[in-house]
């Protein structure tokens, strides 16, 4: 029998009706141009990609030992976003994908400078200012979605970020909540449970923050639900504001009840 995953969008926990967010991104976002720094971009990218390979468990010891002498980026050219916690290059980095065997030559480093009272983001753009591609990257960065700050969720700075998300300009699209993958090893052993998530969504139902509200007791199930939620759109129509909603995800292992297909229950918002 096939395992089932049931998703129920149950309760809107909160919907802020505070004043609209500032009209210009300049109130919270500062965009800096670091200029052409291809060597820096390539070095940071190589270091982060190598670190990912060493911690992901995707290679054995022999393969890992050979990485510094090979063009290992060719194995996973889709890995272009990395978070660096400390040091000069701390922040969330997004790199241009490697092209035709060359390391990335441009990137954006997003740094959270928020404190308890003020929401403030610095985005540093590494690219050659003389190129059209750089100008495009700068414009896209200036129009970026406000990233979630690391400040306490009860702080004024976090509340300011929430207001930005809840009044965010967006385009409606069909509701899309594909179920998360059920890890085969857990399903085989009859291990399931409920993962409860709290999601902050913008007026079009796009997910902008994910919190684990209740664990299933299995980290693999929890992470599978979290990863899937980041890609969800919970509604088709644009609402007046965004909201904080609760979403239970039930991983139901195979039973002898004759069930032969998976099922996803999607209740209205």
Q: Locate the domains of the chain by residue range.
A: 4-19+167-252, 25-147
Residue 266 or residue 6, greater confidence: 6
Give the DSSP letter string of 6-75: EE---EEEE----PPPPSSGGGTEEEEEEE--HHHHHHHHHHHHHHHHHHH--S-HHHHHHGGGTTGGGG
pLDDT digits (tens, 9 = 90+) for 189-226: 999 999 999 999 999 999 999 999 999 999 999 999 99
Q: Is the pTM of this model over 0.75?
A: yes
Pairing type for strands 243-252 and 4-7 reads antiparallel
The pLDDT of residue 239: 95
Report, as an integer, the average pLDDT of 66-91.
77
Residue whose C-alpha is closest to residue 29's, from 112, 87, 133, 90:
112
Structure tokens belonging to residue 168: 């965010």
Report, as an integer, the average pLDDT of 77-85.
87
According to CATH, the topology of domain 4-19+167-252 is TolA/TonB C-terminal domain (3.30.2420)
């Amino acid at each position: 029998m096939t395992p089932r995953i049931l998703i129920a969008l149950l309760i809107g926990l909160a919907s802020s009706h505070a004043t609209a967010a500032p009209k210009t991104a300049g109130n919270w976002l500062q965009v800096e141009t670091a200029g052409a720094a291809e060597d820096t971009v390539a070095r940071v990218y190589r270091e982060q990609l190598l670190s990912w390979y060493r911690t992901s468990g995707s290679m054995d010891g022999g393969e890992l030992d050979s990485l510094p002498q090979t063009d290992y980026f060719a194995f996973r050219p889709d890995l272009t976003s990395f978070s660096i916690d400390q040091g000069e290059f701390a922040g969330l980095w997004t790199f241009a994908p490697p092209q035709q065997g060359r390391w990335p030559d441009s990137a954006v480093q997003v740094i959270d400078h928020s404190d308890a009272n003020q929401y403030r983001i610095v985005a540093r753009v590494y690219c050659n200012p003389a190129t059209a591609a750089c100008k495009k990257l700068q414009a896209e960065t200036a129009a970026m979605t406000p990233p979630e700050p690391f400040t306490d969720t009860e702080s004024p700075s976090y509340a300011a970020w929430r207001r930005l998300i809840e009044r965010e300009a967006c385009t409606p699209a069909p509701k899309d909540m594909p179920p998360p993958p059920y890890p085969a090893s857990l399903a085989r052993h009859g291990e399931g449970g409920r993962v409860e998530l709290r999601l902050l969504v913008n007026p079009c139902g796009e997910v902008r923050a994910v919190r684990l509200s209740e664990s299933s007791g299995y980290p693999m199930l929890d992470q599978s639900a979290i990863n899937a939620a980041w890609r969800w759109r919970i509604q088709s129509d644009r609402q007046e504001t965004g909201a904080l909603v609760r979403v239970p995800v039930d991983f139901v292992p195979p039973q002898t009840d004759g069930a032969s297909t998976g099922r996803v229950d999607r209740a209205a918002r």
